[in-house]
Amino acid sequence: MRYELYYWSGIQGRGEFVRLALEDAGADYVDVAREEGDDAILRYLDGVHEGPLPFAPPFLKAGRLLIAQTANILEYLGCKLSLAPESESARLYANQLQLTIADLVAEVHDSHHPIASSLYYEDQREEALRRAGDLRTQRLPKFLDHFEQVLERGGGHALRRHSYVDLSLFQLVSGLSYAFPRAMQRLHPDLPLLHALHASVAKRPRIAAYLASSRRVPFNESGIFRHYPELDDPA
């Protein structure tokens, strides 16, 4: 099966959670918009095809299936790529954790775009300063302490074994460390398991090769995790 991933070509964004699963599993896939341009995505958003209608990328074509929403794609791939546990209870938990990661990712996005996605950062900078302050002092500790507890229960993994959730936690820590280096440094002592997981995922051979390749789009200020120093902890 050759998977087709559709995601904006210039950013990691939400597509990166899917890319990491495909890369870690050594799956055969094509990153369509990076080959053909972002218009390949727009055709599906315009609904010129039959069947399921995606609201936004990322979406994945897998044979006749078209699957949108990051957590939904990962639930599907987790099963196909042996990146999810087998029991019903553990699969439900995997999906739950992925959705909680998605909630934090949305909050991170809104920390630089608290008013409107369609406006420039500069046009909502004052509001962003306020919202990012709340994110750094209230929401980040709350979410990350939760994930630390989850890892404690799972013996260092989200789900007692390697899974797509571990890969997503890796991406979360990577993105947050890029966007908020000072805040993440402050929180570091309380998150030993999360940082240990981050380090061990980075060393997985296929992930290490991927991160060193040109397939990994560098973090940048068009993506979800943006480094605006004024939104981080004061120096």
Return residues touching a copy of itself (CB under 8 A): 47, 51-55, 64-65, 67-69, 71-72, 75-76, 88-89, 92-93, 95-96, 99-100, 103, 106, 110, 114-116, 118-119, 124, 127, 130-131, 134, 138, 143, 146, 149-150, 153
Q: Which is nearer to a copy of itself, 65 or 209 (CB)?
A: 65
User: How far is Cα 227 from Cα 12, in angstroms, rounded to an integer?
Assistant: 14
Q: Which is nearer to a copy of itself, 2 or 130 (CB)?
A: 130
Task: Assess contact for 5 and 22: CB atoms under 8 A.
Answer: yes
Is the sign of the CA dihedral 218, 169, 120, 69 positive or negative? positive
User: How far is Cα 33 from Cα 40, in angstroms, rounded to an integer?
Assistant: 6
Q: Which is nearer to a copy of itself, 97 or 207 (CB)?
A: 97
Closest approach of Cβ 83 to a copy of itself, in Å?
Answer: 16
Tokens of 127: 């509001």
Closest approach of Cβ 52 to a copy of itself, in Å?
Answer: 5
Tokens of 20: 């990491």
Share in percent of the chain as helix, strand, coil (round to 5): 60, 5, 35
Closest approach of Cβ 66 to a copy of itself, in Å?
Answer: 9
Closest approach of Cβ 3 to a copy of itself, in Å?
Answer: 14
Q: Is 149 exposed, middle or buried (0-12, 13-18, 19+ CB in 10 A)?
A: exposed
Closest approach of Cβ 26 to a copy of itself, in Å?
Answer: 23
Q: Which is nearer to a copy of itself, 114 or 223 (CB)?
A: 114
SS3 67: strand
